[in-house]
């Protein structure tokens, strides 16, 4: 794998870096304190093509390869993980899944709106009673003439209160476990669907996270995405690619931690010299730097495998596992470099640590990634 970026890749990375400096960085602290990212950011992301990366141009996407997608999500993650999450979910989990599994009508209906930022998507898999064990979800979609009627509750749904469409997973028959699950595209203004913001998050405070309650939500049969009963495979294929973008976002957090820690270590003086000149501070900085490189290389490998049409799911789990744990370590080490000032939200590292913490939990916890990797190594499922 050639690690040199092409001119196009460097251009899109630079575009994302400048976007973060102009549209994100000045507002990060205020959005975090207000628990609300300004929603106008979505249209701006769409205008630059960031919500259409890797989606075919005939459906309004901006094309591009998966390394470009990683570069953009890394830059956004360096700026604000709440903003990065908008892209990872609306594009990575929803639009890309419609592009892979949707029929022509579904692609024409949703992709131009999602890729332009006119509409936002959310991914409704987790429920109050099922997180890691998603195949045992309880939401039901009962056939009623030409329609389905959906009842159930979804929990912790990113973009939930902002979204125009939810990629919803529901049980359509009584087959045990994941075999009875189907996927649906449900407009969020459908009668019977209500949303409640989840407040009090440790991190990602600016992100719209919601509980969705569906009571007698009626959708036409044309809302079914992919074949009936294939919903769990659709969810897992979405998450495998999604893990690459979470990993890239984590590289962004780790890089931001490194940049902040190196800068501060050069400015802060103790014992008559910059703390950067104390060997144990250099150890903290070097530990962060090695984590950044290792996480980035694992993540780029996933992009390379996808773009070459190779099997990538296990590599995506390895990248997500390593990068998410590394993001927590890096932010924590950076906070140590900042001393007491790192504990105050006028400095960036406390927020990096709070935002990083969820990365080892969502899109499959670290334990679940280890089970996926273990299954690939042994051929035996420990789920």
Ligand X SMILES: Cc1cc2nc3c(=O)[nH]c(=O)nc-3n(C[C@H](O)[C@H](O)[C@H](O)COP(=O)(O)OP(=O)(O)OC[C@H]3O[C@@H](n4cnc5c(N)ncnc54)[C@H](O)[C@@H]3O)c2cc1C
The catalytic site residues sit at 363
Q: Which residues pair with 214 in a beta bridge?
A: 152, 193
Measured N-to-C along each axis, helices 66-79 and 279-307 cross at an angle, to the nearest 10 degrees, of: 150
Q: Measured from the CB atom, is 3 or 382 closer to ligand X?
A: 382
132 binds ligand X, rule: CB under 6 A:
yes
Q: Measured from the CB atom, is 68 or 126 closer to ligand X?
A: 126
Structural contact between residues 302 and 376, judged by C-beta atoms closer than 8 angstroms? no
114 binds ligand X, rule: CB under 6 A:
no
Q: Measured from the CB atom, is 217 or 276 closer to ligand X?
A: 217
Binding mask 185-224 for ligand X (x = CB under 6 A): ----------------x--x----x---------------
Contacts of 225 by beta carbon, 8 Å cutoff, 6+ apart: 97, 98, 101, 102, 106, 167, 183, 184, 185, 231, 234
d(CA 256, CA 350): 12
* Window contacting ligand X (CB under 6 A); options: 137-145, 152-160, 213-221, 302-310: 152-160
* Window contacting ligand X (CB under 6 A); options: 76-84, 156-164, 174-182, 224-232: 156-164
Q: Measured from the CB atom, is 204 or 284 closer to ligand X?
A: 204
Q: Which of 25, 361, 373, 376 binds ligand X (CB under 6 A)?
A: 361
Q: Which of 99, 141, 265, 358 binds ligand X (CB under 6 A)?
A: 358
Provide the CB-side half-sphere exposure for 304 (13 A, CA): 13
238 binds ligand X, rule: CB under 6 A:
no
10 Å CB burial of residue 299 (0-12, 13-18, 19+) is buried
d(CA 224, CA 172): 11
* Window contacting ligand X (CB under 6 A); options: 109-117, 126-134, 145-153, 303-311: 126-134
367 binds ligand X, rule: CB under 6 A:
yes
DSSP per-residue letters across 120-133:
-EEEE---SS-STT
Shortest distance, position 200 Cβ to ligand X, whole Å: 11
Structural contact between residues 359 and 299, judged by C-beta atoms closer than 8 angstroms? no
Q: Are strands 165-171 and 121-124 parallel, antiparallel or unpaired?
A: parallel
Q: Measured from the CB atom, is 56 or 131 closer to ligand X?
A: 131
Restricted to residues 87-106, the positions that interact with ligand X (CB under 6 A) are 89
Which tokens go with 221? 């049969």
Q: Which of 90, 158, 188, 369 binds ligand X (CB under 6 A)?
A: 158
Sign of CA dihedral 197, 135, 360, 48: negative
Residue numbers of the site for ligand X (CB under 6 A)?
Answer: 89, 122-126, 131-132, 156-158, 201, 204, 209, 358, 361-363, 365, 367-368, 371, 383
């Amino acid at each position: 794998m050639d690690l040199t970026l092409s001119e196009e890749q460097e251009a899109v990375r630079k575009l994302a870096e400048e976007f973060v400096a102009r549209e994100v960085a000045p507002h990060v602290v205020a959005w975090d304190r207000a628990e609300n990212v300004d929603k106008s950011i979505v249209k701006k992301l769409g205008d630059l093509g960031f919500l259409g990366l890797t989606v075919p141009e005939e459906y309004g996407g901006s094309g591009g390869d998966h390394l470009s997608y990683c570069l953009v999500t890394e830059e956004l993650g360096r700026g604000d993980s709440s903003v990065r999450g908008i892209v990872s979910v609306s594009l990575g989990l929803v639009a890309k899944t419609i592009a892979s599994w949707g029929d022509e009508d579904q692609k024409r209906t949703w992709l131009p709106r999602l890729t332009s930022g006119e509409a936002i998507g959310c991914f409704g898999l987790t429920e109050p009673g099922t997180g890691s064990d998603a195949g045992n979800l309880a939401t039901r979609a009962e056939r009623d003439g030409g329609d389905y009627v959906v009842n159930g509750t979804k929990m912790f749904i990113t973009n939930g209160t902002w979204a125009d469409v939810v990629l919803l997973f529901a049980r359509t028959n009584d087959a045990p476990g994941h075999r009875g699950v189907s996927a649906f595209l449900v407009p969020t203004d459908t009668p019977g669907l209500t949303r409640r913001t989840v407040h009090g998050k440790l991190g990602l405070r600016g992100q719209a996270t919601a509980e969705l309650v569906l009571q007698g939500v009626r959708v036409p049969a044309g809302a079914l995405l992919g074949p009936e009963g294939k919903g769990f495979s659709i969810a897992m294929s979405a998450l495998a690619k999604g893990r690459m973008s979470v990993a890239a976002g984590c590289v962004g957090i780790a890089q931001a931690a490194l940049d902040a820690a190196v800068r501060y270590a050069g400015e802060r003086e103790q014992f008559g010299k910059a703390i950067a000149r104390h060997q144990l501070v250099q150890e903290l900085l070097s530990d962060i730097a090695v984590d950044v490189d290792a996480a980035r290389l694992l993540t780029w490998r996933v992009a390379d495998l996808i773009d070459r049409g190779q099997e990538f799911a296990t590599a995506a789990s390895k990248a997500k596992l390593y990068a998410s744990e590394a993001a927590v370590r890096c932010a924590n080490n950076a906070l140590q470099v900042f001393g007491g000032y790192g504990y105050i939200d006028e400095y960036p590292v406390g927020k990096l640590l709070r935002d990083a913490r969820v990365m080892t939990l969502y899109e499959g916890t670290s334990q679940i990634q280890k089970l996926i990797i273990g299954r690939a190594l042994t051929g035996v499922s420990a789920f």
